[in-house]
Structure 1
Amino acid sequence: MSKLTIIADIRAREDKTHLVKAELLKLIAPTRAEDGCINYDLHQDNDNPAHFIFHENWENRELWQVHMNSPHIANYLEATEGCVDEFIVHEMTHIE
């Protein structure tokens, strides 16, 4: 399978923005060290600080699935339970 692009759209509860951001930042180093991770870049909306986007590229979907089942993702989900209003993951293919 070809390279997989992930756009993860995360909207924190306004009163939990700092907590969610801190937990998202904890994901970066271990994820970038994972097999198959090409890039893993966190962005924060300039007008809405509670809105975050991860732009990710993976060698293939299988290695991304390993990432999604990693201990650091499980720790993030536990730490941010009830703190996120919306979490949408888009699996995409780069066209050009």
Structure 2
Amino acid sequence: MSKLTIVANIKTKADKIDLVKSELLKLIAITRAEKGCINYNLHQDNDNPTHFVFYENWESRDLWQTHMNNNHLKEYMAATEGAVDEFTLNEMTEIDS
């Protein structure tokens, strides 16, 4: 099993920034406590406050998949329905450490 890096880009509607941000913040502590989570860091673009990025590292893809199926992510999706304009997720492998 090799480490998996995730880069998730979330772009919100301009009038939903505070809602989405508060819901994203709720994910941090619970996710960091999950088995296999190495780091789970949320960022917000300095010039475009509608753009958030999660930078994550997981011990394996299987453990990340478990995370993706947890209830707290389903609750986030329900709470932010219609508030997110764009979501992209990249599964990546570090090539130089």
Which TM-score tier does this pair reach, normalised by the shorter chain?
Answer: over 0.9
State the TM-score, normalizing by the size of structure 2.
0.98
| 2:13 paired with 1:9 | no
1:72 is aligned with what amino acid? H
Q: How does 1:47-86 map to 2 (within 5 A)?
A: 47-86=47-86
Structure 1 runs (4+) deviating above 2 angstroms are none
Cα distance in 2, alignment partners of residues 48 and 90 from structure 1: 20
TM-align CA RMSD? 0.4
In structure 1, the gaps of 5 or more residues are none
Cα distance in 1, alignment partners of residues 87 and 66 from structure 2: 19
Cα distance in 2, alignment partners of residues 84 and 29 from structure 1: 22
State the TM-score, normalizing by the size of structure 1.
0.99
Cα distance in 2, alignment partners of residues 15 and 68 from structure 1: 27
Identity of aligned residues (%): 68
Count residues with an aligned counterpart: 96
Partner of 2:92: 92
In structure 2, the gaps of 5 or more residues are none
